[in-house]
Amino acid sequence: MSALDDAKYEKHREAGRILAQVRDEAAERLEVGTGYLEISEWAEDRIRELGGTPAFPVNVSVDEEAAHGAAAPGDERTVGEQMVKLDIGVHIDGWLADTAVTVDFTGQTELVEAAEQALEAALEVVEPGVQTGDIGAEVEDVIDGYGYNPVVNLTGHGLGHWEQHTSPNIPNRAVSQGVELEVGDVVAIEPFATDGGGKVHEGSDEQIYSLEREASVRDRASRQALETIVEEFKTLPFATRWLDTPRAEMALRRLKQKNIVHGYPVLKEADGKFVSQKEHTIIVTEDGCDITTRSR
């Protein structure tokens, strides 16, 4: 049996099949007036119905937000006439798939298309031996051609076992120092296009966390939260609203202060401009790649 036929790759593929269906269905359901919490819980429940587990909380990032926007407990926000990025993940026994799509209610068709076509161009050049910097060059070239900028301080990434972000990074611009992709690599390629300068910075809102290290804690609520995190989420990102423990927000603050968990603040385009995104997960094969999150 070849390496690409073994059980872990089949679990990556199954995660991708579930995720492609949920992404497409969620994008179809999304409309002006849809609640952040409503679409997030719907997608996460749908993943479970289809036999997967959410690999991280559904990201609902709008307009200048590029990533890490997420529904808070009891969130009453609704989608307006905005540019919405849905970033969703699935795992099967810790083997992951990651995908994103932009659903636009602002009429900026070309900005959305720039990220989509940049991803297609990147996928065309994937094969064993290609340099990650060359993939970034394809992304940058397409987005530049539309008259926009790639977001240069966000990258695609490898996907490991119970690890959402591993090496190699897949840049969204040409870089001279890159890594050669090899058969069997599992990576997420995710171009971001913007009508701004092309950099993001951290905002103040933070609803997503992940485990940094295990440690003893005295506070009862923090200890209960940590037990849940270790048992249910391991090292994968989770949402505040996923913790069915007393005083979850306070417990997370204490765990963060002790460097037991770390947070993922919402990332915003530095000039306050719009951002679009498109993402697929792939497995590098001998003759190119298997796009696990492609619609069937």
Q: What percent of the chain has pLDDT over 70?
A: 98
| pLDDT at 230 (0 to 100) | 96
- What average pLDDT does the segment 43-47 reach? 98
Check the annotation: does 157 bind a ligand. yes
Check the annotation: does 280 bind a ligand. no
How far, in Å, CA of 84 to CA of 29, rounded? 13
Check the annotation: does 98 bind a ligand. yes
Q: Does the pLDDT value for residue 168 go beyond 60?
A: yes
How far, in Å, CA of 215 to CA of 226, rounded? 9
In sequence order, which residues have a C-beta less than 8 Å from that of residue 236 and are 6 or more positions away? 55, 56, 91, 94, 162, 163, 164, 210
Q: Which helix (H) or strand (E) holds 135?
A: helix 132-145
| pLDDT at 1 (0 to 100) | 33
Q: Where in the chain is the domain with CATH 1.10.10.10?
A: 207-266
Check the annotation: does 262 bind a ligand. no
Q: Does the pLDDT value for residue 5 go beyond 70?
A: no
Angle (CA) 151-152-155 rounded to 5° is: 90
Q: Please indicate whether residue 178 or residue 77 has the higher confidence score (pLDDT).
A: 77
| pLDDT at 3 (0 to 100) | 55
| Residues recognised as catalytic | 87, 98, 157, 165, 190, 279
Q: Does the pLDDT value for residue 72 go beyond 50?
A: yes
Over residues 199-240, the pLDDT tens digits come to 999 999 999 999 999 999 998 999 999 999 999 999 999 999
How far, in Å, CA of 81 to CA of 74, rounded? 22
Check the annotation: does 201 bind a ligand. no
Amino acid at 47: I
Q: Crossing angle, helix 7-29 and helix 36-49, to 10 degrees?
A: 140
Q: Please indicate whether residue 178 or residue 136 has the higher confidence score (pLDDT).
A: 136
CATH class label, 3-202+267-291: alpha beta
Its pTM stands at 0.94
Q: Where in the chain is the domain with CATH 3.90.230.10?
A: 3-202+267-291
Q: Which CATH number fits domain 207-266: 1.10.1200.10, 3.20.20.20, 1.10.10.10, 1.10.645.10?
A: 1.10.10.10
